[in-house]
Amino acid sequence: MWRVYNPYSGEHLYTAQSGEVAHLSSLGWRYEGIGWYAPVESSTPVYRLYNPYSGDHHYTVDSGERNHLVSLGWIYEGVAWYSDDNQGVPLFRQFNPYVSIGTHNYTTSKSENDYLASIGWRPESVAWYGVDSVHVGTVVNCTPFMGDSRNSQEQVTSHLKAQLKARGREFPSEVYASYGAATADEFIARLFEAATAEGVRPDVMYAQAMLETGYLSFGGAVKPEQCNFCGLGATDSGDVPASFSSVYEGFLAQAQHLRAYSGKAPLSSTIVDPRYSTWLFGRSSTAAGTIEGLSGTWATDTSYGFKILTILNSI
């Protein structure tokens, strides 16, 4: 379960939907990480409601409270997640009597609960329960980056052309013509070929490459002619970024690196990723093989995965 914060209204929102987090992040909400783990299902649903007058959300396991709020004009949005029937990790609920938006906060932290109570919030006991971390297996509801593309090659190419046009730029043919991609169509074709060779989703690789390069504007340590579209070797400590002989090779290295993050060895007979090693296996922890699992692992940015999702969802 992810937690995001609206710095303008003061509201926290809690959701299992990565697309919702990505969308809200694009609107200025701050991603605050994983709030807790919810069971896939249980006998105790947590209901989500929306106040169309204030913009606030509310969550409760109490059907009576849900029905009362609906009678006051709140919109019932369905079951948001489930409470752990084994009562593994309590979610404490606090009420802020001084505001009209973001009136409730929910947290697994007793310290956060007590701090808010000390500054005037009203503690309202336990709202529901999350799963104890010792029982958490594979993270669900994350977005896999392995497999077939969910967007066609034509859709991805059109997206690139539209994004370049919106930025007042042309595809840099003068750079990539000598590296096997004289046009945007050829560039995306090489991407699809490389991604497919390693079983990685081409549309995800595209979204990551556009995030890393600023839609091929670069501007950082990596130069366009290095054909390094995912920042391989570029670190916060100033290491020299990797260079590749062609657009295809650069994308193949990216695909091999992503494949390693999913816990699998490259399929290609030649490893072109200079940083490939088995130490990368499982690097994204319990969210291995997912876009969300790249946050804080591929890059130090804890919202890295959601920024990729924002681009992916816009195709």
Look at the chain and count its residues: 315
Encode pLDDT of 38-97 as tens digits: 988 899 999 999 999 998 999 999 999 999 999 999 999 999 999 999 999 999 999 999
**pLDDT on residue 236:** 61
Return d(Cα 73, Cα 53) in angstroms, integer.
Answer: 9
Q: Is 12 left (phi over 0), alpha (psi -120 to 50) or beta?
A: beta
216 backbone dihedrals φ, ψ, rounded to 5°: 70, 20
**For residue 275, what are the CA distances in angstroms to 243, 247, 271, 282, 310?**
12, 18, 10, 15, 27
**pLDDT on residue 234:** 75
In the chain the beta strands, taken as DSSP E runs, fall at 2-5, 12-15, 30-34, 45-50, 57-60, 75-82, 89-95, 104-107, 122-130
Encode pLDDT of 48-58 as tens digits: 999 999 989 99
What residues have CB less than 8 Å from 177, skipping those under 6 apart? none
pTM score > 0.85 for this model? no
